[in-house]
Structure 1
Amino acid sequence: MPIHIPFLNRLWQRIMPFRKGLPIFMFFLLVSAVLWAIIRLSTEYEETLAIPLSFQTAVGDYSLVYYSDTVIYAKAKLKGTQLASWQFRNNVNPFLLKFNNLRLKPNRQGYAELFIPTTQLSAELTTWLHSTSSVVVIRPDTLYFGFERTYQKRVPVKPCLKYTLSPQYFLVDSVRVSPDSVLIQGPTRIIDTISFVNTHWMDAGEISSDKTFTVKIQNPYSHLGIKISDEKVNLKLKVERSTEATVELPIRLPDSASCSLKLFPDKVSLRLLVPFGVYKNLNTNDFLVSVACPDSSDFKRKMLTVKVDRLPAGSKLVEIEPNEVEFLIFN
């Protein structure tokens, strides 16, 4: 339905007399809201609270492996300000249960148990919540905890590192990890399943010089009570510019009396890329090429494939010539 201009004019004329009083009205409305909030926040309320728990993961020679509950429900009297504060920090600041002054009950299987009646927590919860009266735990009535003897062992650290080498650069040695192993500690049944730990994933990008990176160690078992002696390790990469080298080598024959061979040719030429530091001290003893005893398929082709068994550290094979050789067997 269309709205006519005369209607708007009449509406405006009715509102005009109240314009002067609008700021006063808004002021008193604001004061009323503030007073209402003060009264509400100073009022005492009895509420049932869901209180999250956190625990010690180790007690003496034992590690925590099982717990019955992670939340307890309790009645508490709190002022409005305290209740608002509690609702804000509910999931941020759990109630910490400490086992230091409690005695575990070991059994014959190497486990230990602990039972805590929740009525014993009333005084601590009252202080922790700043309640105006004693906190009453509604449920559960008892908390149960299972412990297992703590065991420790040393495991290697595996680097999770991605990198690329600039053109004509080689990694002289493998990635060095320092320390290369760490001590892990926790429940025996968990420790027995862990054979190594990984570092956090890292992308180092393109590398053209020696680099050292500090990386944190992953601990995916922390919630199971596993502790790791070190938080970080250093990853070291040693790189050098490469150059091309050609080496002629004799082919090693099978070390078997039943396999007496004559090869044609009996030498091969290797073309490879090697770091400058390695090139200066290149020696034929750093290489090994060989052939295996021929099988039925080799007899048909009358050729043996040459295998490269050993190369200097950090070098990369480009070509082997020839990569197959003829053979003759002596009876």
Structure 2
Amino acid sequence: MDSVQFKKYYTTVKNFLLGPKNKEFLIFLFFFFVSAAFWLLQSLNETFDVELKVPLKLENVPSDVVITSDLPSDLNVMVRDKGTVLVRYIYGTEQVPVRVDYKDYDKGNASGRVSVTLLDVQKKVQAQLLSSTRIVSLKPDTLEFFFNKGARKKVPVKLAGVVETSPEYYLQRVEFTPDSVEVLAPSAILDTITEAFITPVYFSDLSANEKTISMLRPVRGAKFIPDQVEMNVMIDLYTEKTVEVPVFGVNFPGSKDLRTFPSKVKVTFRVGMSRFKEITADDFVLAVTYEELMKNRSPKIQLHLKSMPSGVSNVRIDPSEVDYLIEQVQEENE
């Protein structure tokens, strides 16, 4: 832009801003900002309460000590002072961490639980603040940490939550990798832990296998290694299968035998595709006891399964009742 163009541009802007209407608007803006600045100064001279986050750190932990539940990473400190001071805390430099020295609390505590004196922490926070600033409250109001000096054991990982499939599928199994984890905790806490539960999961209407990383549900005072596992939810598609199962007589005297018509019945059931070939007629038992028949007053007997394999459902027997005959068996010596 040459000097002629710049001068022309400058003249246009000046004429626009200093026009009758725009001049009044500029005067209004000037007094508006003056009023706002005056109001802000007045407000900052008043007293307010503000919550500050102050980092909290545990230091000088011996190498043979494992902290199984640490102190909170931050303290929520409610402070009271004039606005001009609080602005410095909010927009100034970050708060210096409050340091808790492990050695100050190592009293040979066999329980593995240490309570940190809140008053000591408050004094350290106050030392970072101006003398005019007053601490109104500290949260959390209970500070404690747990440690361990070797006590540990392995516990199995367990499912927590709900896993539901769509109607044509069923839950085959849930696998965890690893399927067990190591837990470290003070002895009193360690004795009460027999399982490690994942944080609750909620799956509904599943129609495919699901794989995800699940965190273990925290236990106060305990530390899980690792603290997360891979969860593999495996589902299978239902199908129907029919087998022919013979009817047996049970508890019959040696001289008597059971004959049914028909001698075999069809058993139809629902089973997962992965077990379709695995389930056979031999896995079902259709038995009629001699005592049942003695009480029966009908020429037919109702059939019931005495045993069936796990993993099958919607079992149907056809026919569900059969004609029967109790035969007299001829002894060999006769």
Short-chain TM bin = 0.5 to 0.7
Aligned residue type for 2:200: H
Post-superposition Cα deviations, 1:223-268, rounded to whole Å, max 9, x if no partner, equal: x2444423343223243463x43311234555x7989974342533
Counting only pairs closer than 5 Å after superposition, residues 62-101 of structure 1 correspond to structure 2 as 63=68, 79-84=85-90, 98-101=100-103
Asked if structure 1 preserves the Cα contact closer than 8 Å seen for 2:241 and 2:271, the reply is: yes
User: What residue number does 2:159 align with?
Assistant: 158
Q: Which of the numbers 105, 108, 113 marks the counterpart of 2:107? A: 105
Q: CA separation in 1, counterparts of 2:189 and 2:221? A: 9
CA deviation after TM superposition for structure 1 residue 214, in Å? 1.0
Indicate the residue corresponding to 1:300 in structure 2: 295
The one of 300, 307, 310 equivalent to 2:308 is 310
Give the equivalent residue in structure 2 for 1:319. 316
- The residue type equivalent to 1:163 in the other structure is T
| 2:14 alignment counterpart | none
1-structure distance, mates of 2:268, 2:98 = 66
Identify if the C-alpha distance between structure 1 residues 126 and 22 changes in structure 2 by more than 3 Å, giving closer, same or farther: same
TM-score when normalising by structure 2? 0.58
The answer (yes or no) to whether the contact 1:155–1:184 under 8 Å persists in 2 is no
What SS does the corresponding residue of 1:106 show, helix, strand or coil? coil
**Equivalent-residue separation in structure 1 for 2:108 and 2:172 (angstroms):** 50
Helix, strand or coil: the match of 1:174? Answer: strand
1:24 aligns with 2:27: yes
Distance 2:273 2:198 in 1: 32
1:56 deviates by 7.4
Aligned-partner Cα distance in 2 for 1:61–1:259? 71
The match for 2:246 among 226, 246, 250 is 250
SS of alignment partner, residue 241 of structure 2:
strand
Shift of 1:188: 4.7
Given the superposition, is the C-alpha separation of residues 164 and 330 from structure 1 closer, same or farther in structure 2, using an over 3 Å criterion? farther
**Post-superposition offset of 1:174:** 2.9
Q: Distance in 2 between matches of 1:212 and 1:181?
A: 20
**Matched-pair contact (CA < 8 Å) for 2:155–2:182:** yes
Evaluate the alpha carbon distance shift between residue 195 and residue 28 of structure 1 in structure 2; reply closer, same or farther with a 3 A threshold.
Answer: same
Q: Which amino acid aligns with 1:158?
A: L
Q: Summarize deviations over 1:53-108 as a string: whole Å, max 9, x none.
A: 887799735656999xx87787889724125559xx9xxx9976645444422356
Q: Describe the SS at the equivalent of 1:37.
A: helix
> Partner of 1:197 in structure 2?
197
The alignment of Structure 1 onto Structure 2 pairs a total of residues equal to 288
Unaligned runs of 5+ in 1: 1-18
For residues 161-218 of structure 1, give each alpha carbon's deviation from its aligned partner in whole angstroms, at most 9, with x where no partner exists. Answer: 122144xxx54843444443444444555551554514533334251xx523315346
Q: Aligned partners of 1:230 and 1:135: how far apart in 2?
A: 41
RMSD: 5.3
Aligned twin of 1:13: none
